[in-house]
Homo-oligomer: A and B are copies of this chain.
Amino acid sequence: MVKQERAQVTRGTIVSGAAAVFGRRGYGLASIADIAAEAGVTKGALYFHFPSKDELARAVITEQHRRTMVAAAEVVEQGLPGLETVVRLSAVLAHQLLTDPVVQAGIRLTTDVSMFDPPVTEPYEDWLRTTEALFRQAAEEGDLRPDLDPGMLASVVVPAYTGVQLVSETVARRADLLERLRDLWTVLLPGIVPPGELERLRRLPDLIH
């Protein structure tokens, strides 16, 4: 049991080290030697836990997605209106992107399209499902234009968010992420909510700070 716990700790250390190196260099330029050095383990120990760079990268994405989903669940469980919940979730992910190196690396790896065969699409599909369910709730609450399909809306909003955080990383090392996210919602909201509800809901982007 103690041995198993120690193995768990070592795995966690390696995943953190891998996140740091993938986050700095991207998948292609990250080397196993760099990751072992960063994690303070031997290459042998690293290979014992993760036989390939591909598996290391998938482990970082899995851990990132777990952390993001834990934080997301805390928001969803508050039982707030659907639309407010989606806006708050986008802010939660933004804060993780600003502060957590594992989340930074995981999201970066997820958008490193070419690296994985098969591509990693589970996190995207999870977000799509969650967002669609919340938009469906928003529709029942009267906060969605009646002609708007919640599934189609989710399949636009999730990629739009992906692009906003990617451009913010590229041009400003994410310094403007929260502002860009407020702008995204400011532009989207009048197209999402029924005209008569806009006045009531137009301050939703201010939740992001």
Contacts and interface: CB of A to CB of B under 8 A. Distances in A.
Interface stretch (A2-10, A41-49, A160-168): A160-168
Interface in A135-181: 145, 148, 152-153, 155-164, 166-171, 180
A46 to B, nearest CB: 19
Interface residues of A, number: 49
Contacts of A23: 114
Contact of A108 (B114, B152, B164): B114
B190 A25 contact: no
Copies of the chain in the assembly: 2
Interface stretch (A26-34, A83-91, A95-103): A26-34
Contacts of A124: 167, 170-171
Interface string A174-199: 00000010011011111110010000
Given A114-B25, A148-B187, A162 B156 contact: no
Contacts of A110: 170
A113 interface: yes
Given A119-B170, A161-B163, A191 B187 contact: yes
B145 A156 contact: no
Contacts of A115: 26, 28-29
Contacts of A189: 191
A52 interface: no
Contacts of A160: 159-160, 163-164, 184
20 contacts: A26-B113, A28-B30, A29-B115, A111-B166, A111-B170, A121-B171, A145-B190, A153-B187, A156-B164, A158-B167, A159-B163, A159-B164, A159-B168, A160-B184, A163-B163, A187-B192, A188-B188, A189-B191, A190-B191, A191-B192
